[in-house]
Amino acid sequence: MKVQVVTVDRAGGKKLCVQVVYQVNGKTKKQNKETFGLNEKRKAEALRSKLENSDKIDVIDQKIEFNFAFEEYFKKINNDPDTTSKYKDMQIAYIDNHVRPYIYKTYLADYLLSDFEEFTLVGIKKSKALQWVKKNGKGYHKKKEEKIGKITIRAVVLEFKKFINFCSSRQWKIDFRIANFDFGPKYFDGYQTKIKWMPTQTELLAVVNKEPDIQLRTLYKCAAESGARLNELLGICYESIETDGIYIDHSINEENNFRPYKVKTQRRFIELSDECLDLFSIWMKAQMFPITHRNITFENPDTQKIEKRTFKRVFNIPIHGARKRVKVSAKRLGIHWPNGMSPFRKWSITMATDAVDQNGKKVFTEKQIDYRFGNSKDVRQTNYLRDLNLNEKERKTAVNQLTKG
């Protein structure tokens, strides 16, 4: 950027003009900042000096439109080789559906932190939730009836802050204070979210134990006992099964691609019941055409050496297929089941956390629960622990005795 004082023709004669010269996409642009009389050279030079010592982003009057900036940001997202296509779609959907409709300024430079807090954020909180659906082999986001919850609001704002930082990297002028926005510890106090649905214990156990399909019964049983994530369950291989449990070593992504020795948090061994392991044995012997990944190259995490071998998976079900089939299994029994496989993990975590022996002592230590489920106590309390209402009779008895002395 160069700032210069030039003589220009204006109505009434020649004038001194402070002019900024800069490059945009390889092209030279000029922008006039202020004009002075020929006898005001000192004022013109003072302005020139001030602008020359300022940041380019504060000197040039930019006319970058939000629509253009969003499209450029989406190009950056789509060109990221390390991100799955579904996650890219989600990032773009957050902006398109939850942010873009609530931007009321045309140009980035006119948009302030106050605009974000008073208009955009208010709109985000009222925005409708999205559901990922697949049709004819293609996935897309569909709007639901309920509003988005706290977790999604935070995720949307985080994505918008990434957009603000993207603008900063391009030296596009916008109120960069937005990138430092923080909700604060009490921001969501009293905020109404959707009811966290869970099946009753009777309903869940009915789905597990009354499923006639041996593969699905094995999957449901293992999900309820292990509490493993769905992508970890579908990554279980023949070699993962032991006489007293299973190894959670592998997983699949949302596109159903096999990921050897890759899980969300940590590889681990999970003890299972004899009944569950018997189901594994029956299904593995009966399965005629297991999904087989031949000559897969991977880094062995134990030896740090590159190896190549074949993996044979236990479950021949895609991720979206498992989510649909459990709803069908429940419907066959007359059970309303709006969620996919996640209730099994929540139920398993809650049961293990609350389990006590005959002396009232906790069966699992906190460390054992951390390891078994691959998460922390804080994560479990926020996202997984549920009141399963297993002590209804005992509570009623205790309530009846409260005022009897």
What are the pLDDT digits (tens) for 277-330? 999 999 999 999 999 999 999 988 888 899 999 999 999 999 999 999 999 999
What is the tens place of the pLDDT at every residue in 199-236?
A: 999 999 999 999 999 999 999 999 999 999 999 999 99
Q: How many residues does the chain have?
A: 405
pLDDT at 194 over 60: no
Q: Give the pLDDT score at 25.
A: 58
What three-state secondary structure class fits 80? coil
**CA 234 → CA 287, 299, 340, distances in Å?**
15, 20, 14
pLDDT of res. 144? 77
Q: Is the CB of residue 263 less than 8 Å from the CB of residue 232?
A: yes
Q: Report the distance separating Cα 378 and Cα 106, nearest Å.
A: 42
Residue 405 has pLDDT above 70, yes or no: no
pLDDT for residue 57 is more than 60: no
Give the whole-angstrom CA distance, residue 247 versus residue 232: 10
- DSSP one-letter string for 148-173: P-HHHHHHHHHHHHHHHHHHHHTT--
Structure token digits, residue 51:
């602008």
- Residue 360: pLDDT over 90: no
Percent of the chain with pLDDT over 70: 90
146 three-state secondary structure: strand
Contact 222, 246 (CB under 8 A): yes
Report which of 78, 196, 89 is spatially closest to residue 132, judged by C-alpha positions.
Answer: 89
Q: Calculate mean pLDDT across residues 2-23.
A: 85
Mean per-residue pLDDT of the chain: 87
Whether pLDDT at 114 is above 60? yes
Q: To the nearest 10°, report the CA torsion of 13, 19, 25, 26.
A: 80
Do the Cβ atoms of 16 and 36 come closer than 8 Å? yes
Flag whether pLDDT at 59 surpasses 60: no
Kindly tell me if the per-residue pLDDT of 71 is higher than 70: yes
Residue range 47-66: average pLDDT?
A: 75
Does pLDDT of 255 surpass 90?
Answer: no
pLDDT above 70 (res 195): no
pLDDT-derived band at 167, boundaries 50, 70, 90: very high
Mean pLDDT across 182-195? 74
CB-count burial class (<10 Å; 0-12, 13-18, 19+) for 174: buried
| pLDDT for res 102 | 96
Q: What is the DSSP letter of 375?
A: S
pLDDT, mean of residues 256-260: 91
For residues 8 and 18, what is the distance between their CA atoms, to the nearest angstrom?
A: 10
What are the two backbone dihedrals, phi and then psi, of residue 216, each rounded to the nearest 5 degrees?
-65, -40
* Predicted TM-score (pTM) above 0.85: no
Top mean pLDDT of 140-149, 253-262, 383-392 is at 253-262
